[in-house]
């Protein structure tokens, strides 16, 4: 399995296994952009081919029936139809949730860490099938056929054990370790900077 970051003007590849809709600071605005690219049709075709979709935070909100912003918190007040792949709806709320969470993935029983940073409350029948549990409470939603899921938890894939368990559900092995990879990259960057910059002088100037 390879990871492809889809840019504007590109169609969703027909051999996609899993489409991930990431978070956003403007759910309704980015939903309009998604539709302008024709990705709503691509995602519907992807599901017809037996593909899977995971929405994270704003991407989760887009997957529902409707995104309502009655107070105009992200732009002009109003409602925007969602993609309709999950039987849930979201209402934007003034309170922003910003919390680190310890969760357990409902499908595999694998614990992982993530964090919430969003406005909005999502409710609906598909909430009866949670993506995860946080302190025993249901979090996120899963569609009736199990191929569409949404969660408010960012950062879940940095957890090596969870990533491996999640990918195993699609018959795909997880390669490498995120934590070790990040440390190695940062160490390499530090060595590169030290070899090309007068770090001592920069630190002295910062003081």
pLDDT in tens, 1-16: 678 899 999 999 999 9
Clarify whether residues 40 and 128 are in a common domain. yes
Using alpha carbons, select from 90, 37, 36, 38 the residue that is nearest to residue 59.
90
Q: d(Cα 100, Cα 158) in Å, to the nearest integer?
A: 14
Clarify whether residues 122 and 181 are in a common domain. no
How many other C-beta atoms are found inside a 10 Å radius of the C-beta of residue 184? 12
State the residue range of the domain holding 134: 18-176
Q: d(Cα 91, Cα 121) in Å, to the nearest integer?
A: 5
For residue 206, the surrounding DSSP H or E stretch is helix 199-206
Helices and strands of the chain, counted as H and E runs: 6, 10
Clarify whether residues 102 and 161 are in a common domain. yes
Clarify whether residues 100 and 130 are in a common domain. yes
Clarify whether residues 101 and 73 are in a common domain. yes
Clarify whether residues 123 and 181 are in a common domain. no
Clarify whether residues 88 and 23 are in a common domain. yes
Structure confidence by residue, pLDDT tens digits, 85-100? 999 999 999 988 788 9
Structure confidence by residue, pLDDT tens digits, 144-173? 999 999 999 999 998 889 999 999 988 776
Domain count, the chain: 2
Clarify whether residues 127 and 188 are in a common domain. no
- 57 has catalytic annotation: yes
Clarify whether residues 141 and 190 are in a common domain. no
Question: pTM of the entire structure?
Answer: 0.84
Q: Which of 46, 52, 118, 154 is catalytic?
A: 154
The DSSP call for residue 40 is H
Is residue 8 one of the residues assigned to a domain?
A: no
Return the percentage of the chain with pLDDT > 90, whole number. Answer: 72
Q: Which of 46, 52, 57, 118 is catalytic?
A: 57
- 105 has catalytic annotation: no
């Amino acid at each position: 399995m390879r990871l492809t970051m889809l840019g504007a003007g590109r169609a969703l590849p027909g051999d996609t296994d899993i489409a991930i809709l990431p978070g956003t600071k403007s759910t309704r605005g980015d939903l309009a952009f998604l539709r302008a690219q024709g990705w709503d049709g691509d995602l519907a075709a992807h599901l017809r081919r037996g593909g899977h979709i995971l929405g994270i935070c704003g991407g989760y909100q887009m997957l529902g029936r409707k995104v309502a912003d009655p107070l105009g918190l992200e732009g002009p007040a109003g409602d925007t139809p969602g993609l309709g792949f999950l039987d849930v709806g979201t209402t934007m709320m003034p309170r922003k949730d910003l919390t680190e969470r310890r969760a357990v993935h409902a499908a595999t029983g694998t614990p992982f860490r993530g964090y919430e940073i969003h406005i909005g409350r999502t409710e609906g029948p598909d909430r009866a099938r949670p993506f995860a549990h946080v302190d025993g409470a249901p979090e996120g939603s899963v569609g009736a056929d199990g191929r569409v899921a949404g969660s408010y938890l960012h950062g879940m894939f940095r957890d090596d054990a969870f990533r491996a368990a999640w990918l195993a559900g699609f018959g795909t092995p997880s390669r490498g370790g995120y934590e070790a990879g990040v440390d190695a990259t940062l160490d390499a960057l530090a060595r590169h900077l030290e070899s090309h910059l007068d770090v001592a002088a920069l630190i002295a100037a910062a003081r």
